[in-house]
Amino acid sequence: MNLKNLIRDVPDFPKKGIIFKDITTLLKDKDAFKEAIDKLAEECEGKKINKVVAVEARGFIFGGVLAYKLGAGFVPLRKPGKLPYKTIKETYTLEYGTDTLEIHEDAIKSGDNILVIDDLLATGGTSLATVKLVEKLGGNVSKIVFLIDLTFLKGAEKLDGYDVSSLIEY
């Protein structure tokens, strides 16, 4: 199955000049969604993942299912003020400003093998912030996977030295 054929382009969203890669067309297809999850899980073979860390919101769709499939715990990264316990945070640069992510300070133990998952790699800012949070808590980033990599934005360059893969490239 060619998963790329199930991604819909939405022009001028969220602002003029951007072509948004809409994954909802893939998610609603039960066979495509299953294949995407299975392929993402295959990328993690031999990594002995303890926890899956995912960024809200679309990353949660894949993160929870992958955690279940890999027999691992699930750790959500959220925008500030959304997690109910003590957190640490990391601020990062976007192509149009800055943003911040938070993680519970007790979400990861030193030595945990972590899978980082998100739906899309663009400029790499969100992913690098995620890696920094995991490492601040003593986690070992064993693998980083994406459904989509927008290669022309060169986000993977910010993740140099990590094991990074994606299922679909544009």
Residue 132, domain member (yes or no):
yes
Structural domain range at position 105: 47-169
Residue of 35, 45, 58, 90 with catalytic role: 58
Residue 94 and residue 14 in contact, taking contact as beta carbons nearer than 8 Å? no
58 is an active site residue: yes
- Hey, CA dihedral for 43, 49, 52, 53, is it positive or negative? negative
In a domain, 106, yes or no: yes
User: CB-hemisphere CA count at 13 Å for 74?
Assistant: 19
Closest by CA to 89, choosing from 125, 49, 130, is 130
Q: What is the CATH number of the domain that holds 125?
A: 3.40.50.2020
Rounded CA-CA distance 105/169 in Å is 34
Task: Determine which one of 35, 45, 78, 95 is catalytic.
Answer: 95
Please report, in tens digits, the pLDDT of each residue of the chain (170 residues total).
999 999 999 999 988 999 999 999 999 999 999 999 999 999 999 999 999 999 999 999 999 999 999 999 999 999 999 999 999 999 998 766 899 999 999 999 999 999 999 999 999 999 999 999 999 999 999 999 999 999 999 999 999 999 999 999 99
